[in-house]
Amino acid sequence: MDELLKRLTEAHGVSGDEGEIREILKSEAANLADEVSIDRMGNLVAFKKGTKSGKKIMLCAHMDEVGLIIHNIADNGILKFSTVGSIDPRVLISKKVRIGKKKQYGILGLKAIHLQEPDERKTVVKTKQLYIDIGAKSKDEALKLVNLGDYAAFDTEYLPFGQGRIKGKALDDRLGCSVLLNALKCRYPFDLYACFTTQEEVGIRGAGVAAFNIKPSMALIVEGTTCSDVPGVDEHMRSTRLGKGPAITVMDATSYSNKDMVNKIIETAIKENIPYQMKQSAAGGNDAGAIHISGEGIKTAVVSVPCRYIHSPNSVADMNDYYSTSRLVEAFLKGCE
């Protein structure tokens, strides 16, 4: 089992509450980089001096994850919440979450099936109707365990399973964070800025600030992206496929990838005999959306580890895709002067 991936995915870091994951990444990066700093948006930037040129290249992965935030504590001790980032409320029912710094257990209950009308089982329970039960009988009792504004993350254990597969929460984008840590193990001709960004899931808020500060000549974003190679999804709707290697983005809802970079990534993959696939969906976005229009514009490209069921309590990835993504990123960077 990959102990680092376990620590990275089990750590809390809902957008706006990245403290715990940032500390882990900081201590890991500090061993590999020349300098580690945190900017005003909470982005963690690990700098590694180049051997030759003063050219700057930015590597980027977001450290935040989707989750919940407590916005009301009712008199009966029940918590009401908003989702932080995009979560389909249908994945929340009957799941456990951990709330706040003390990681209080909470559950997303639902009226028992016996008390429902048959038609109710066909309807979607909206986020507004959902609630968290922490076993408190009153508001006062609840306030001893949680506070208004506490963030909640899925209570999910990282586990290897199946044939070289892993499951866990926040594979989007802790896998990317781990790829960045791997890349930091090498020294390159240029100055490398490995950025672990905040608040990607609530509208790509952190990455733009990091890019503005660094002013890189090029940025490569490493993501955990949608994968829908599952039953019930038509062949042409499958954005990526598990086990087919890193997914290279041409365009999505927030940016075009720079064509020269994309070509160079593909050439590198072919040359190094690394499997790759083109992402076949233009939906979704990532940090490239803010980075490519930062300052006077920055060349960006996106390479992703395909992850099934992202933004749910249990997402699934293939370890070979993760290893291949790391190899591709490292080989690509080594080819950049």
Q: Which positions are catalytic?
A: 200
Q: How far is the CB of 287 from other proteins (least distance, A)?
A: 15
Give residue for tokens 């927030």: 254
Which tokens is 19 given?
């403290």
Q: Which two tokens stand for residue 5?
A: 């991936």
**In sequence order, which residues have a C-beta less than 8 Å from that of residue 84 and are 6 or more positions away?**
14, 15, 16, 66, 67, 68, 69, 151, 201, 202
List of residues contacting other proteins (CB under 8 A): 74, 76, 78, 86-88, 90-96, 105-116, 121-125, 129, 131, 133-137, 141, 145, 159, 161-165, 167, 226, 228-233, 237, 239, 281, 283-284, 308-314, 316
State which residue, 294 or 324, has the beta carbon closest to other proteins.
324
CB neighbourhood size of 225 (10 A): 26
Which of 51/94 has CB closer to other proteins? Answer: 94
Q: Which amino acid is at 210?
A: A
- Residue closer to other proteins by CB (options 175, 184) is 175
CB of 231 to other proteins, least distance (A): 5
Q: What's the closest the beta carbon of residue 15 comes to other proteins, in angstroms?
A: 15
Shortest spacing between CB 40 and other proteins, in angstroms: 29
Q: What is the spatial distance between Cα 332 and Cα 337, in angstroms, rounded to a whole number?
A: 10
Residue closer to other proteins, measured from CB, 54 or 118: 118
CA proximity to 151, closest of 93, 76, 64, 223: 64
Give me the least distance between CB of 96 and other proteins, in Å please. 6
**CA 12, CA 166: separation in Å to the nearest integer?**
18
Residue 6 or 165 having the CB closest to other proteins: 165
Measured in degrees and rounded to the nearest 5, phi and psi for residue 264 equal -65, -40
Structure-block tokens of residue 80: 């009401």
Q: Exposed/middle/buried for 40, CB within 10 Å: 0-12, 13-18, 19+?
A: exposed
